[in-house]
Copies of this chain bind each other. A is one copy, B any other.
Amino acid sequence: MNEFNSNSAIGVFDSGVGGLTVVREILRRLPNENVVYFGDTARVPYGSKSKNTVVKYSRQIARFLLTKNVKAIVIACNTASALALDELSRELPIPVIGVVKAGAQMAVNITETKNVGIIGTEATIKSGIYSEYIRSLSKEITVVSKACPLFCPLVEEGLLEDRITDDMVERYLSELKAYDVDSLVLGCTHYPLLWNPIKRYMGPAVKLINPAYETAKELKQMLKEADLLRTDNAPATYEFYASDGADKFITFADSVLPMHVKNAEVVDIESY
């Protein structure tokens, strides 16, 4: 039984470490909130898996987060947001926010040419969920989407500024450029780390949208409206959990978050 109140933590989950970029934005915008993060590092990546599998994994993680009495859940993974947000929103007793809706809303707000580009994993793009949200907000907008499966491995290999990355950026994005999009949603948590090469190729007229940033804004608004902002004044606490104990988690966390993460506790997520 989940017993939350306004002083309970916010639960955030991702297929791996990428969602820590969403935690970073939450820390900036909601520095008084406690956060419980779960990264499914054992089963990463979600981007090439089927909807059934991603929904099943997301449910297991939500059940784990409920044991921490979280007051809201943020799905920091674009793929899980695309494939499991509806299911979790319907099934859980607490509010659930996904990065996809916040990113889509922002694209609608800022586009002038009414041509919006979306990039993400194969599963996110195949789900068509970004286009669906955007069209439900405005019928006038043309959405051009493109899966970029090599971007994540390139980021994880640290090739953020590299001729190979520039080459792949050009191959993946040439179509979107030809379509004259004026806003581009970076629909995977790893992609904001490729901000510079993407910006360089797309040019100054194209606005890049980081859904992590928009999600933190939406989260703050939602907590305010639901009267769920933390009132306790003790320093906020941050707990990190992962399904695999590889050292990578800490390394990545240290490169993304403003504080040192000492350890990520390993959780047997399959038992939830």
Contacts and interface: CB of A to CB of B under 8 A. Distances in A.
Interface stretch (A41-49, A72-80, A132-140): A41-49
B245 A50 contact: yes
A49 B157 contact: no
A153 interface: yes
A112 interface: no
Contacts of A157: 149-150
A125 to B, nearest CB: 14
A149 B164 CA distance: 14
B42 A53 contact: yes
A86 interface: no
A154 interface: yes
A187 to B, nearest CB: 18
A164 B153 contact: no
A150 B49 CA distance: 19
A236 to B, nearest CB: 29
A167 B157 CA distance: 14
A246 B150 contact: no
A266 B254 CA distance: 38
A248 interface: yes
A270 interface: yes
A109 interface: no
Contacts of A156: 48, 149
Contact of A246 (B41, B44, B50, B168): B50
A218 to B, nearest CB: 30
A182 interface: no
Nearest to A44: B48
B164 A154 contact: no
Contact of A153 (B149, B163, B243): B149
A244 interface: yes
Interface of A: 41-44, 48-50, 52-53, 149-150, 152-154, 156-157, 163-164, 167-168, 243-246, 248, 266, 270
Given A49-B246, A52-B266, 4 more contacts: A44-B48, A48-B246, A52-B244, A150-B154
